[in-house]
Amino acid sequence: MGKKLVCELEAGDHIYCKRRGGLYDHHGIYVGDNMVIHLAGKAKKIQPYSCQECKNKGVINGEIAKICIHCFHGGKNLGVYAYGVSYFQHKTRKNGTCCIRAARPPHEVVAAAIHLLEHGGFGRYNLFANNCEDFAVYCKTGFAESKQIMGHIKRLTFMFPIVGVIATLPLAAAYTVHKGISQRGHGLT
Ligand SMILES: [Zn+2]
Beta-carbon contacts of residue 121 (< 8 Å; ≥ 6 apart): 62
Domain containing 29: what range?
2-144
Which residues have a beta carbon within 5 Å of ligand 1, which is an ion? 51, 53-54, 68, 71
Say what the pLDDT of residue 137 is. 92
Domain count, the chain: 2
3-state secondary structure of 92: helix
CA atoms within 13 A on the CB side of 43: 31
- Please tell me whether residues 131 and 179 are part of one structural domain: no
Say what the pLDDT of residue 120 is. 72
- Please tell me whether residues 126 and 162 are part of one structural domain: no
- Asked whether residue 110 is domain-assigned, the answer is yes
Amino acid at 182: S
Burial of 74 by CB count in 10 Å (0-12 exposed, 13-18 middle, 19+ buried)?
middle
The rounded Å distance from CA 14 to ligand 1 centre is 18
- Please tell me whether residues 39 and 105 are part of one structural domain: yes
- Asked whether residue 66 is domain-assigned, the answer is yes
Say what the pLDDT of residue 111 is. 97
- Please tell me whether residues 140 and 53 are part of one structural domain: yes
- Please tell me whether residues 127 and 161 are part of one structural domain: no
Tens of each residue's pLDDT in the chain, 189 residues: 466 677 789 999 999 998 766 677 889 999 999 999 998 866 677 777 789 999 999 998 888 899 999 999 988 889 999 999 999 999 898 888 999 999 999 999 999 999 999 987 664 444 444 688 888 999 999 987 645 444 444 455 555 555 555 555 554 444 444 444 334 444 443
Catalytic site residues? 26, 38, 132
- Please tell me whether residues 179 and 102 are part of one structural domain: no
- Please tell me whether residues 116 and 178 are part of one structural domain: no
- Please tell me whether residues 22 and 51 are part of one structural domain: yes
The rounded Å distance from CA 37 to ligand 1 centre is 12
The rounded Å distance from CA 115 to ligand 1 centre is 21
- Please tell me whether residues 41 and 74 are part of one structural domain: yes
Say what the pLDDT of residue 169 is. 52
- The domain spanning residue 101 has which CATH number? 3.90.1720.10
- Asked whether residue 99 is domain-assigned, the answer is yes
- Asked whether residue 84 is domain-assigned, the answer is yes
- Please tell me whether residues 90 and 160 are part of one structural domain: no
- Asked whether residue 150 is domain-assigned, the answer is no
Say what the pLDDT of residue 13 is. 98
Q: In whole angstroms, what is the distance from residue 53 CA to residue 49 CA?
A: 8
Q: In whole angstroms, what is the distance from residue 2 CA to residue 79 CA?
A: 5
